[in-house]
Amino acid sequence: MDTGIVLTALFVAFNCGLLGVFLMLRKMAMVGDAISHSVLPGIVIAYLISGSRASFPMLIGAAIMGVLTTVLIEFLTKKARLQNDAAIGISFTWLFAIGVILIAVFTKGGIDLDQECVLYGDLAFVPLDKVIVDGNLYLGPKALWNQIPVFVIIVLTLVFGFRGWQVTTFNPDFALSLGINVSKWHYVLMSLVSLVSVMAFEAVGAILVVGFMIIPPATAYLMSGKLIPLLFITMIIASISVIAGCYLAIYYNGSFAGGMIVVAGIIFIVVWAIKAVIDRWRRVANRTAYENRAESISA
């Protein structure tokens, strides 16, 4: 097993999961999905303009598209009076389709931006793009060094903005009454989601990013009722999914990201089942205690 692959996947999972917690709590899981798809045309356009696969222009392109998506969703919801989920469905599929067409049109000229790669990504190719300094010091794959700064940015934003995330997520009206600029926080989150999506798409692809964003937080949500533990449990579940998923992928010789999301889903089901059993067991215990007491009173 290549440590470069595992480390890259770990940081992708951390970045997605930490933001995913807030997307989930804001009931915006599908907006995360939308952004992760609709950054595609941004990436392609940035690529066509800059002519390189360098990260920075792509980042700008993706960030613009990410924010544009949320604006478009809001516009369709408020002005066209569509249901929110319909608005999301229109916005991201349309933008994503434009991206697909753009790739198809321009790949005829032999551009090294491949549809398969964008949709599914491939962690297996991550170690091929190496960071080597001084001619022979191998520092790990380039994708890993793309993820680490994003991780630092996200952690800093969460630590310093913790109270802001808390209040604008739990009770935006109340935050507004305090004079807090709620939409500013909203767009910061959306920009971070775009950032994570564009950095993750070459590793895990546009389709599975949202799996990393939602499944570990949703699992953690079953396990804890407090925000900080929720964030840490999310990271633990993400780690288990990445490592076990890696073994799974090697075992059946398939996609790494696919294996990881499969494992994440299995963890979710297992945790949910255990929780259901415990809840039921508690209810039964309570009821028998109550019945015993009732009997002792009547006797």
Partner 1 sequence: MTVKNPSIAVEAHNITVAYDRQPVLWEVDFEMPAGKLIGIIGPNGSGKTTLVKTLMGVLTPDSGYVEIFNEPLHEVRSKIAYVPQRESVDWDFPASVYDVVMMGRFSAKKLFQRPSKQDKLVVRQSIEKVGLTPFIRRQIGQLSGGQQQRVFLARSLAQEADIYFMDEPFVGVDAATETAILTLMLTMKDQGKTLIIVHHDLQTVSEYFDEVLLLNTRVIDYGPVETVLTDANLKAAYGGQLNVLSKVGELMKQSEFPVREKEFKNRTVKK
By CB under 8 A, name the binding residues for partner 1.
Answer: 25, 27, 81, 160-161, 163-164, 166-167, 169-171, 173-181, 221, 224-227, 230
Structure tokens at 254: 């398939």
Min dist. Cβ of residue 224 to partner 1 (A): 7
- Judged by CB, which is closer to partner 1: 5, or 231? 231
Strand, helix or coil at 130?
strand
DSSP per position, 134-182: TTTEEEEEHHHHHHHHHHHHHHHHHHHTHHHHHHHHH-HHHHHHTT--H
- Judged by CB, which is closer to partner 1: 176, or 240? 176
Cβ-based burial of 156 (10 A; exposed 0-12, middle 13-18, buried ≥19): exposed
- Judged by CB, which is closer to partner 1: 158, or 209? 158
Min dist. Cβ of residue 135 to partner 1 (A): 44
C-beta neighbour count of 194 within 10 angstroms: 26
Q: Based on C-alpha coordinates, what's the Rg of the chain?
A: 22
Min dist. Cβ of residue 226 to partner 1 (A): 5
- Judged by CB, which is closer to partner 1: 56, or 160? 160
- Judged by CB, which is closer to partner 1: 24, or 261? 24
Structure tokens at 258: 């696919």
Min dist. Cβ of residue 66 to partner 1 (A): 24
Min dist. Cβ of residue 221 to partner 1 (A): 7
CB 243 within 8 A of CB 259: no
